[in-house]
Amino acid sequence: MPRPTALILILAGLCASSLGQYNEEEDLAWLQYYLRQSRASSYNYVPYYEEESPAYAYSYPSATDTEPEPEPEPQQAAPWRCPQECDCPPNFSSAMYCDTRNLRYLPFVPSRMKYVYFQNNLVTSIQEGAFDNATELEWLALHNNQISSDKMGKKVFGKLQRLERLYMNNNNLTRLPSPLPRSLRELHLSYNQISKVPPNALEGLENLTALYLSHNFIFEMGASLKGLKSLILADLSYNNLRKVPDGLPASLEQLYMEYNYINAIPDEYFQVSPRLLYVRMSHNSLTNQGLSSNTFNSSSILELDLSYNRLQKIPRVNTNLENLYLQGNQIDEFSISSFCSVVDVVNYSRLQVLRLDGNAIKRNAVPPDAPLCLRRATVIEI
């Protein structure tokens, strides 16, 4: 069995490799988190909550045979002091860990903090001005709580002009928080109850690179993505979308819209995103009537997932496509023209994986020129 020190080093190494995109200071924050977890067995603080009390006014039940002592006057914590509900590692003074402690409110955040973790608690509301003192915040983790939109201050994030990552997935939000800091790079809002994204909800977020809105009830996106000039990843899967968003950013590389109710895609819809690599639209209601001949003829797309739709024919794709998933449709014909407009020694498809299982195609329906067109394919399932 590995020694405790070795185990900590292993965990730190795993953490560093998975978060290699961040800088060394942020990696250190996560290292401190694991070090803190390794000492959890000796941490015996159990907070006592008063529903109406301020964050730092605590009272403890007196012994039954003694007179109760008067409660202390509520006092605001000094700006350099760590809240007693939380853990602030002394060798990483800009991080504050308040996660998994049954907290029902947000404690005071000292002004020096850059990384604050409130996840896995019972917080239901965020009072106005909760973060006004912590204007240096860069990471704010509020996921896995019970926060509702009606119990959030209207401008709780208004002064966080350096905030880059906001985690509010797994809460009870019914709308997007607004306004959001223009500095934001990642916005995590999956597993909430959001039904609509207004056109101006994401306005001004020109630094946003990743947007996670999966597992909500969104039925309309409008043109809310169009102005996100730095957006690389948009996850809109597991929603109630009937149509694709009106316009995509030119910077987009990954688009996930599986498990919706989309039945059509406009002609040349993906052409405005020349960097787009991955498109996943499985488990929708797409038909050939809702597609044009150029819908997927984008030279940048490498992976296209159209499985479990209502397609009756293989849509035409670009020869640069490498992975095409069409299983679980109603396709009854293997058409080489969908992959190669011209079949010869020079012109061929770069397709490597093609899945057509779960359709009505018979194995002997593969045309004789298929090996020449699909010469790069290593997996073809019919």
Task: Judge whether residue 9 has pLDDT over 60.
Answer: no
Quote the tokens at residue 220: 């309309």
Q: 368 or 208: which carries more pLDDT confidence?
A: 208
Task: Judge whether residue 29 has pLDDT over 80.
Answer: no
**CA 245 vs CA 215, 223, 254, 260, 317: distances in Å:** 17, 6, 14, 12, 21
Question: Each residue of 308-351: pLDDT tens digit?
Answer: 999 999 999 999 999 999 999 999 999 999 999 888 888 899 99
Q: Provide the terminal-to-terminal Cα distance of the chain, rounded to the nearest Å.
A: 48
In 3D, which of 362, 329, 26 has the Cα closest to residue 165? 26
Q: What is the pLDDT of residue 360?
A: 94
Question: Each residue of 149-195: pLDDT tens digit?
Answer: 999 998 999 899 999 999 999 999 999 998 999 999 999 999 999 99
pLDDT band at 199 (very low <50, low <70, confident <90, very high): confident
Q: What is the pLDDT of residue 230?
A: 98
Question: Each residue of 43-62: pLDDT tens digit?
Answer: 232 332 223 223 322 222 33
What is the sign of the dihedral through the CA atoms of 76, 81, 87 and 88?
positive
Q: What is the pLDDT of residue 80?
A: 62
The β-bridge partners of 148 are: 172
Task: Judge whether residue 137 has pLDDT over 60.
Answer: yes
DSSP secondary structure letters along 122-190: ----B-TTTTTT-TT--EEE--SS--BGGGB-TTTTTT-TT--EEE--SSB-SS--SS--TT--EEE--
Kindly report the CA angle at 373 between 371 and 375, in degrees rounded to 5? Answer: 55
Q: Which pTM value belongs to this model?
A: 0.79
Using only the alpha carbons of the chain, give its radius of gyration: 26
pLDDT band at 203 (very low <50, low <70, confident <90, very high): very high
